[in-house]
């Protein structure tokens, strides 16, 4: 596809060609658009609403304001509520906190994995 063809597809899908596509080189813009389109709008193993909530959580941690805004708005388009967005952000804060603690304390990984296996076996028993 030519760049014009790709931009026509982007515009037909999104209503316009967002400026962030302008700086993508001609020789890879088609591949980048196909991945973007599939992951953002396509039906994949993870439903779109949940993918976007994951995006909200990830970019709350990376502190990318562009991505956080994009994923919050996309999550809403796919039916996420403000409460679900808030929970995704809170979960990111919670899980990153544990990661910081476990890594900072240099928790023994093998012991952690063994204990996790025992917890899983216990919980699986019902």
Task: Give the rounded percent of residues in the chain with a pLDDT score beyond 70.
Answer: 100
C-alpha to C-alpha distances, 67 to 12, 70, 120, nearest whole angstrom: 22, 5, 34
- What pLDDT shows up at residue 126? 83
Q: Residue 17 belongs to what domain range?
A: 1-42
Q: What is the average per-residue pLDDT within 31-49?
A: 96
- The DSSP letter of residue 119 is H
Number of domains the chain contains: 2
pLDDT one-digit tens code per residue, 54-71: 999 999 999 999 999 999
User: Distance between CA atoms of 18 and 15, rounded to whole angstroms?
Assistant: 9
Compute the half-sphere exposure of residue 25: CA atoms within 13 Å on the CB side of its CA: 2
Query: Both 35 and 57 in a single domain?
Result: no
Q: Are 29 and 21 in contact (CB under 8 A)?
A: yes
Task: Give the rounded percent of residues in the chain with a pLDDT score beyond 90.
Answer: 99
User: Distance between CA atoms of 13 and 78, rounded to whole angstroms?
Assistant: 15
Query: Both 71 and 86 in a single domain?
Result: yes
Query: Both 99 and 125 in a single domain?
Result: yes
Would the pTM of this model clear 0.85, i.e. be above it?
yes
- Token duo for residue 107: 């928790």
Element (H, E) at 76: helix 65-77
Which residues in 117-126 are b (16+ Cβ under 10 Å) and which e?
eeeeeeeeee
């Amino acid at each position: 596809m030519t760049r014009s063809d790709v931009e026509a597809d982007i515009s037909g899908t999104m209503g316009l060609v967002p400026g962030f596509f302008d700086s993508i080189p001609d020789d890879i813009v088609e591949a980048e658009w196909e991945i973007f389109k599939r992951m953002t709008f396509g039906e994949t193993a993870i439903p779109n609403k949940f993918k976007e909530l994951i995006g909200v959580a990830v970019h709350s941690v990376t502190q990318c304001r562009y991505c956080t805004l994009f994923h919050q708005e996309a999550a809403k388009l796919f039916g996420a509520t403000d409460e679900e967005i808030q929970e995704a952000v809170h979960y990111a804060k919670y899980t990153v906190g544990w990661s910081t603690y476990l890594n900072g304390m240099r928790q023994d990984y093998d012991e952690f994995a063994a204990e996790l296996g025992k917890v899983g076996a216990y919980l699986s028993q019902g």
